[in-house]
Chains A and B, each alone.
Chain A
Amino acid sequence: MATVDSTVRAGAPTARGADAGPPAQPAGIGPYRLALRRLRRNKVALAFGALFLLIVVLCLCAPLYAAHVAHTGPNENHVTETVTIGGVAKDVVSPTGQPIGPTWQGRFLLGADQNGRDIAVRLLYGGRNSLEVGGIATLVTMTLATVVGIVAGFFRGFVDGVLARMLDLIWAYPVVLLGIALGTSLALGGITVGPLQLHGNSLLVPAFIIGIVYIPYVAKPIRGQVLGLREQEFVDAARVGGAGPLRIMWSEILPNVSSTLVVFVPLMIANAILLEAALSYLGAGVQPPNPSWGTMISDGIRLIPSAMHLTFVPGAMLVLAVLGVNVFGDGVRDALDPRAKVRLEEHAEGASR
């Protein structure tokens, strides 16, 4: 088992390898390079990863689109203005409140909403907000869940008891309900923790809420994994070598759970984006007038019979983004999972025969 010891010390792809012993790998190729090689073979995952990346890039370009193409900001109202289509001036919002549909030109490419705001601009800015919230929430979840999971699993006993019960407490509430409760209350007063102060309409409020409600979903598996790792010989060796708990957790345990964390990242991004959309739809996430895909769907509901694009377009973007990151995440998981590798190689061998 010396190879196992040396592999995990170097930061093995998964702790499951420590339990069962990873299959032999070609000499001179690191585990992550091997994972990357396997990922490159998964064309479907790469295609969906590219789709997600494209959406991210498009959303990051929102200010450029707003300034140079649409010539309006995401929250700018144009209720009584007109737009010229084919030489004919048309109301952005009709006297009876009906917004214009897609113009397929720079201004109001995808039409306007009830307030005469450019849907395409709001869609891109909304995507930025949704992705920003999803990204920050994932960062919060992964950071706190890693700390909590490793500390609880490593120390066990009283510390584990307290932390595990706290995780149970959060887990006991349905995610959406907990998010609504926190979102509604914090949207009014914001968050003040010592010198840190967040206003109610800050994007960081829903990001922190989502980040916190998902902590148990990552921390619990990490804790379980650490409970097994702390009994491994390499941990005993480090302890005998004089390393303290912090050093062992940082240098020995963390590298061995890193591949699990990598697998969780796309999954949590997808979940965070979905929860953000749900909370924003219900008024407990991104606060108006700031756009997000969730708030845009909510705003468009009123006009579904006559302007379905108001709900369909942000809904489609949401589906594509979540699908992209989920399928790509599955590919990453398969690539990092040595058992999956065995399956893949067996499959490849079978195919070559």
Chain B
Amino acid sequence: MRVRTFGATLVAVALLTVAAGCGGGGSNNSTSSTGSSGGREGGTATVLMGTAPDYLDPQLGYTTQSAEPDWIIYTPLLTYRHANGTSGGQLIPGLATALPTVSSNGLTYTLTLRRGLTFSDGRAVKASDFAYTIERAIRVNWGGKSFYTNYIAGASAYDSGRASSISGIQTDDATGRITIRLTQPYGGFANVIAFPSSGLVPSGTAMRNLSNDPPPGVGPYKYASVSVNRGFTLTRNAAFARFGIPNIPTGHLDTVRVTIVSNTQSEAQQVLNNQADVFDAGDTLPPSLLPQIESQASSRFARVPIPSTYYFFLNVTKPPFNNAKARQAVNMAIDREAMVRLASGFLKPTCWFLPEGIVGHPGNDVRCPYGERPDLAAAKRLVQQSGTAGTAITVWGEQRSPRREYVDYYTDLLNKLGYKAQERIIADEVYFPTIGNAKTDPQTGFADWIQDFPNPSDFYLLMDGRSIQPTNNQNFSKVNDPHIQAELNRLNPVPATKLDSVANDWSTLDQYTASRAYVAVYGTETMPKFFSDRLNFAAAVFHPTYLNDWTSLQLR
């Protein structure tokens, strides 16, 4: 327990009073508050993860496990409100003084960097660090770099080596002014600025994977130590509180210790027994412990639906899935109810690529193009008609449960359809970089997508032909459909504030995508929020994009 002086307490009380007087927009800026919801400040919590983050480098990480720490260590110019549900999807200024000013044609975004900011190592933050950060994300081949290269003027030239910098980003270190020029309007571009990969790092940071020794950032926390694939520790960044950035909490805990526990049974058991504090929301609770958790730990367990899509990708450039009938057969045969059971009930069946909660989701009233119930006999006939029966297929999957079970089921299904399917199960940490590498060029396998931001264009990155890249590719099916491209060109520029006006267009596009069977979607996930007794469960934020908000964790 931390010892605080009476003087510090007085200051805290005074600050709390001021914050309360400011109304609902008040933040957790106080570093020494006693906690408005009965918790206490300081201390250490242990977060368990079933899978190590793909990278601990902000310009490379692209899994929920890396986004959770990156979000609170590398604050971008814009970020999201630290809130539950749809409120968490609201953009707020981060290191910028305000939300961007957008030109009338939607091609120019202007922001101003806050003054007096420093990185966690004490170096001053400059406007030019933003340009460097974006260049670094492109140079190290971040999986979502096409969000930059597709829209920022000169980013594509920089990516291909034809330019030494991105001409579309102009910065002025003296005034902090940052101007971003786009090649075409993109309604979700403000969200792109809010990616953790856009979280500022100092100019001159090495253009290579720095996961072993992550660079400094500007955020409530900083990396204190990293033990690759075993765990890492975050400590509070004391300097951050002085910046007084509204709506970005400074955190309650002094230290967040993250430990990788590859066995989810052990992971859940430790949290249930209060030996650890947080169960990774990206993991699935083992069915054997679920009844016990629901009965014994109901006050610290909740199921939170998150806009996400779980699917099997079907590489349209390789046999047998370069044949539309083969893809349709998979969609026709898949038993989504079986997938729900394999997920211990943490999955809601769907055939649509855009999940519930995202504008354009066709809705449950619209009939799936290949039926609501599996039809194995019809699917077998389709495979025979396609002439692809007997094709050897390698199904890629992750080790962790229930993803291994999904792939076991899927492999059996492909064999029942008449293919010669075999599995290739690899370690979770390297799964997505491996299947996203052009040298691997997988035929089919497990994939999922959890929203980066509440916009259908985020999901359609995976169907955008321009996002196919040699490493860290996310368009695993390698879809490059002219109709989808034309629709994306038309719909992507629509500002986030006017998304509802094109909801039907997105829905039509999603139905078209489902009819083309480029992927076999089977569900959208409900995630577990599961803590130990030591933490204040009610006060902890479960963010729709970054899941457990570690700045909201507080010891009782």
Q: A307 CA to B287 CA in the complex, in Å?
A: 10
Q: A283 CA to B425 CA in the complex, in Å?
A: 8
Q: Considering the complex, give the chain A residue whose CB is closest to the CB of B286.
A: A302
Contact across chains for B335 and A114 when beta carbons are under 8 A apart: no
Known: A77-B338, A79-B338, A302-B264. A289 touches B412 (CB 8 A): yes
Q: A93 CA to B402 CA in the complex, in Å?
A: 14
Contact across chains for B341 and A79 when beta carbons are under 8 A apart: yes
- Residues of chain A within 8 A (CB-CB) of B411 are 75, 289
Known: A79-B409, A301-B265. A288 touches B404 (CB 8 A): yes
Contact across chains for B412 and A201 when beta carbons are under 8 A apart: no
Contact with B along A85-128 (1 / 0, CB 8 A): 00000000111111000000000000000111000000000000
Could you say which interface size class chain A belongs to? Answer: 20 to 34
Q: A188 CA to B423 CA in the complex, in Å?
A: 10
- Residues of chain A within 8 A (CB-CB) of B286 are 302-303
- Residues of chain B within 8 A (CB-CB) of A283 are 399, 425
User: Count the B residues whose beta carbon is within 8 Å of the partner chain — how many?
Assistant: 36
Contact across chains for A200 and B341 when beta carbons are under 8 A apart: no
In the complex, chain A residues 274-321 whose Cβ is within 8 Å of any chain B Cβ: 283, 287-289, 301-307
Q: A283 CA to B345 CA in the complex, in Å?
A: 26
Q: Considering the complex, give the chain A residue whose CB is closest to the CB of B343.
A: A97
- Residues of chain A within 8 A (CB-CB) of B407 are 288
- Residues of chain A within 8 A (CB-CB) of B263 are 301-302
Q: A80 CA to B341 CA in the complex, in Å?
A: 8
Contact across chains for A98 and B412 when beta carbons are under 8 A apart: no
A33 within 8 A of B: no
Contact with A along B273-311 (1 / 0, CB 8 A): 000000000000011111110000000000000000000
- Residues of chain A within 8 A (CB-CB) of B318 are none
- Residues of chain B within 8 A (CB-CB) of A199 are 422
Contact across chains for B402 and A114 when beta carbons are under 8 A apart: yes
Known: A75-B415, A283-B399. A188 touches B344 (CB 8 A): no
- Residues of chain B within 8 A (CB-CB) of A94 are 287, 341
Known: A96-B345, A97-B343. A289 touches B287 (CB 8 A): no
A168 within 8 A of B: no
- Residues of chain A within 8 A (CB-CB) of B341 are 79-80, 93-97
Contact across chains for A288 and B425 when beta carbons are under 8 A apart: yes
Q: A289 CA to B415 CA in the complex, in Å?
A: 12
Known: A75-B412, A97-B343, A98-B287. A304 touches B422 (CB 8 A): no
Q: A306 CA to B290 CA in the complex, in Å?
A: 10
Q: A98 CA to B405 CA in the complex, in Å?
A: 13
Judged by DSSP, the binding face of A is loop
Q: A288 CA to B421 CA in the complex, in Å?
A: 11
Known: A77-B412, A115-B409, A200-B424. A96 touches B287 (CB 8 A): yes
Contact with A along B422-434 (1 / 0, CB 8 A): 1111100000000
B408 within 8 A of A: yes
Q: A345 CA to B84 CA in the complex, in Å?
A: 82
A76 within 8 A of B: yes
Contact across chains for A115 and B408 when beta carbons are under 8 A apart: yes
Contact residue among B292, B342, B408, B422 (Cβ-Cβ distance under 8 Å from A201): B422
- Residues of chain B within 8 A (CB-CB) of A302 are 263-265, 286-288, 401
Contact across chains for B288 and A98 when beta carbons are under 8 A apart: yes
Contact with A along B459-496 (1 / 0, CB 8 A): 00000000000000000000000000000000000000
Contact across chains for A114 and B340 when beta carbons are under 8 A apart: no
- Residues of chain A within 8 A (CB-CB) of B412 are 75-77, 115, 289
Q: A201 CA to B426 CA in the complex, in Å?
A: 12
B337 within 8 A of A: yes
Contact across chains for B287 and A201 when beta carbons are under 8 A apart: no
Contact with B along A258-280 (1 / 0, CB 8 A): 00000000000000000000000
- Residues of chain B within 8 A (CB-CB) of A95 are 340-341, 345
- Residues of chain B within 8 A (CB-CB) of A98 are 287-288
Q: A289 CA to B422 CA in the complex, in Å?
A: 8
Contact across chains for A96 and B290 when beta carbons are under 8 A apart: yes
Known: A80-B335, A96-B287, A96-B290. A287 touches B409 (CB 8 A): no
Q: A76 CA to B337 CA in the complex, in Å?
A: 16
Q: A94 CA to B342 CA in the complex, in Å?
A: 9
Q: Separation in Å of the A206 CB from the closest CB of chain B? A: 14
Known: A79-B335, A283-B399. A188 touches B343 (CB 8 A): no
Contact residue among B288, B337, B338, B424 (Cβ-Cβ distance under 8 Å from A304): B288
Q: Separation in Å of the B340 CB from the closest CB of chain A? A: 7
Q: A304 CA to B413 CA in the complex, in Å?
A: 27
- Residues of chain B within 8 A (CB-CB) of A306 are 287-288, 291
Q: Considering the complex, give the chain B residue whose CB is closest to the CB of A98.
A: B287
Q: Separation in Å of the B327 CB from the closest CB of chain A? A: 21
Contact across chains for A305 and B408 when beta carbons are under 8 A apart: no
Q: A79 CA to B343 CA in the complex, in Å?
A: 11
In the complex, chain A residues 194-212 whose Cβ is within 8 Å of any chain B Cβ: 199-201
Q: A22 CA to B263 CA in the complex, in Å?
A: 56
Contact across chains for B265 and A114 when beta carbons are under 8 A apart: no
Known: A115-B409, A301-B265, A304-B288. A188 touches B337 (CB 8 A): no
Q: Considering the complex, give the chain B residue whose CB is closest to the CB of A310.
A: B288
Known: A97-B344, A289-B423. A303 touches B287 (CB 8 A): yes
Q: A76 CA to B338 CA in the complex, in Å?
A: 13
Q: Separation in Å of the A100 CB from the closest CB of chain B? A: 12
Q: Separation in Å of the A294 CB from the closest CB of chain B? A: 14
Q: Considering the complex, give the chain A residue whose CB is closest to the CB of B288.
A: A306
- Determine which residue in B343, B415, B423 has the highest number of CB atoms from chain A within 10 A of its CB, and name it: B423
Nearest first, the 10 A-B pairs at minimum CB distance are: A97-B287, A97-B344, A79-B338, A306-B288, A303-B288, A305-B288, A77-B412, A289-B408, A96-B345, A302-B286
For the complex with contacts A75-B408, A289-B411, 12 further pairs of A-B residues with Cβ separation under 8 Å are: A75-B415, A77-B413, A79-B338, A96-B290, A97-B287, A98-B288, A114-B405, A115-B342, A115-B405, A283-B399, A305-B265, A306-B288
| 14 examples of A-B residue contacts, CB within 8 angstroms | A75-B411, A80-B335, A80-B341, A93-B341, A95-B345, A96-B291, A97-B290, A114-B401, A114-B405, A115-B408, A188-B426, A289-B408, A302-B287, A303-B288
Which of A's residues lie within 8 Å of B, judged by CB? 75-77, 79-80, 93-98, 114-116, 187-188, 199-201, 283, 287-289, 301-307
